[in-house]
Structure 1
Amino acid sequence: MTQRPSQASRRPSPLALLLALALAHAHAATAQEATPPQAPAELASKLTALAEAHKGKVAIALKHLKTGESFALNADVPMPTASLIKFPVMIEAYRQAAEGKVDLNAPVTLRKKDMVPGSGVLTYHFSEGATFPLVDAVHLMITYSDNTATNLVLDAVGIGSTAATMEAMGLPNTKIHSKVYRRDTSVFPERSKQFGLGSTTAADMVALLDDLHARKIVDEKASEAMWNHLLTCDDKDKFPRLLPPNVKIAFKTGSIDDARTCAGVIETKGGPVALCVLTSENEDKSWGPDNAGNLLCARAAREVYDSFSARADGPAN
């Protein structure tokens, strides 16, 4: 007698859903390849001018998430991420949670050897032995770009797993290479030498943001949770800097000496726009808010906001 499989056994896993989503992206891209809708020419011109004036390498990608209008400049060129790669790490944590491989409510304990320098609060404001849920480490990783929290999350999900999931989603250039400030843990040594902590493309980041905004990554509940984490990012020097104070942005950023990165969804008056700005080999290596990479991110965000907000009462709304 053949036993009928249960409903649970027939339900596709989150990884299978991610694979299906990647295939859907490929089919959609093929269907739209001939006549992709383009962002306004004036906006494209302004973004190109900003990139050309910057003393360093620049990649920009954007997509209006309702009309599909897009713009790309070096958008398929792999670039260093700095802490922007923590966004895909968060996706991997929620994917593994959905598959039962990790428990986001399980406690993690902060040890002295876990503490690394740089951005965040754990190393500087928490005592050894502090215990908190893994989901709080994820939140600290996104909100404050906490390096120690990131390494705790990587301990839970594994360093190489994020890259494997991104590849399954059709984003093979998006990888975290090692723990933060722990180059000796690299699972991609050559990429670590070239890109540092992580690597991606502007197009990859916009694709992830598009799916997250549509609540298609892992599942609706997980997507909503991840979206809410991104809404709390506390970097005021990049996308938010020149925008009106009431504008909602779900985003993540990264900063190292010669690179500044930012990717997020900006709620313009004319609809949501996913935007990614990546810079590297920057001449300006200063760490103040007026760093040239920060200003490029801020100015690009303002141009995008103004362009799409200007049509709020027009047909594209």
Structure 2
Amino acid sequence: MSRALLFAATVLAAFPAFAQQDTTLVQDLEKIAAAHHGKVALYAENLRTHQTASISPDLPVQTASTIKLAILLDAAEQVRSHTASFDEKLVLTHENQVPGSGIIGQLDTPLPLTLRDVLHLMVTLSDNTATNMAIDRLGLDHIDKTIQQAGLHQTWLYKKVYKPASGPMPADQPKFGLGKTTPREMAEIMTRLATCNLDLPVTEETFRVGIDGSICGTILKMLRVQQDRDGLPRYIEALDTSELGSAIGNKTGALDRVRADVAIIASKSGPIVIAAYTFDNENQRWTGDNEGQITLAKIGEAIIKAWSPAGLDPTVINWNNPLAPASR
């Protein structure tokens, strides 16, 4: 057996063939959802045990900024295929500055940035101008092609942020705005990044520890320092992250009536992926105590209490290279 196939077999052996729905946890999550003044859809999975918990996991929802995970996936694919480089230079211009979250829309132009810088800002600050720069560089059509090659047929990036849709659009674009997804499919994107499942469609060459692992490590480190921690991490990140680093990598999304969070969590029971969406929310306050944020926090807390009562351990995931052994 080749070294690549041996590694693949080792990875697959760690994951049971069939996911098992945790019905007790689902009941607890449904109580949280019922108390929320809005709607909830979510999918969660322990990548070691394959326990799952879900509420309407295949319901199409507005992505808000969680669609930026799909941009990260395409960036990883293009860096892997040498059609892009994290070190290549892009130039911020006044014409591509847009409002909303982020900071570079407020800076003087022209400003040179690397693709790594742009993606880092897109993740850590959910910077909308950086997002549009990444879309311009990678290509909207290419990003959607990568999503489809991953087998995600309900996930689409429709347009740039704060820009009108252009060209032929699906009939549902006005309803979903920036992008569409389902909790299950967005959890799949996070899982691909967390397990470094690149090279679509998958071949044995996917498992290149030195090359692919470094690409995924660059992305995981961005997600790990994402600055909006008012959702899923709120009640569960009790570690001294300044000393040990965070045990959570996540990407949030927010609209007036939407709060969403997609996370990879290094728990003591194994890596846990959660994609949770609250929508049609009555509470539209733009504060950290928005009810949607609190509901996401309760969801994260319930899942960790059920699956990893001993808590989190950042060393369960090798954040620098997920294809290499974990640091502990």
Normalised by the length of structure 1, the TM-score is 0.83
For the Cα contact (< 8 Å) 1:186–1:192, is it kept in 2? no
For the Cα contact (< 8 Å) 1:163–1:172, is it kept in 2? no
Aligned residue number for residue 227 of structure 1: 220
Question: Deviation at 1:153?
Answer: 0.4
**Alignment map for 1:234-253 (pairs within 5 Å):** 234-246=227-239, 248-253=247-252
- Name which of 109, 118, 136 aligns with 2:100: 118
**Alignment map for 1:186-197 (pairs within 5 Å):** 188=169, 190-197=171-178
- Structure 2 letter corresponding to 1:212: L
Aligned residue number for residue 27 of structure 2: 45
Identity %: 30
For 1:117 and 1:242, the matched residues in 2 are separated by 30
2:48 is equivalent to residue 66 of structure 1 = yes
Aligned residue number for residue 270 of structure 1: 269
For 1:238 and 1:52, the matched residues in 2 are separated by 18
Question: Deviation at 1:187?
Answer: 5.8
Q: Secondary structure at the match of 2:233?
A: helix
**Alignment map for 1:96-245 (pairs within 5 Å):** 96-124=78-106, 126-185=107-166, 188=169, 190-218=171-199, 219-245=212-238
Runs of 5+ unmatched residues, structure 1: 1-20
Q: 1:170 to 1:120 in 2, by over 3 A?
A: same
Q: Secondary structure at the match of 2:102?
A: coil
Question: Deviation at 1:189?
Answer: 5.1
Q: 1:186 to 1:81 in 2, by over 3 A?
A: farther
For 1:188 and 1:221, the matched residues in 2 are separated by 36
Runs of 5+ unmatched residues, structure 2: 1-7, 200-211, 240-245, 317-328
Q: CA RMSD in A?
A: 2.2
For 1:181 and 1:298, the matched residues in 2 are separated by 28
Aligned residue number for residue 291 of structure 2: 292
For the Cα contact (< 8 Å) 2:29–2:302, is it kept in 1? yes
For 1:238 and 1:270, the matched residues in 2 are separated by 21
For 1:93 and 1:48, the matched residues in 2 are separated by 36
For the Cα contact (< 8 Å) 1:179–1:185, is it kept in 2? no
Alpha-carbon displacement from aligned partner over 1:50-104 (angstroms, at most 9, x marks no partner)? 1122222211100011000001211011100100000110111121122222232
2:303 is equivalent to residue 304 of structure 1 = yes
For 1:215 and 1:130, the matched residues in 2 are separated by 32
The number of residue pairs the alignment matches comes to: 282
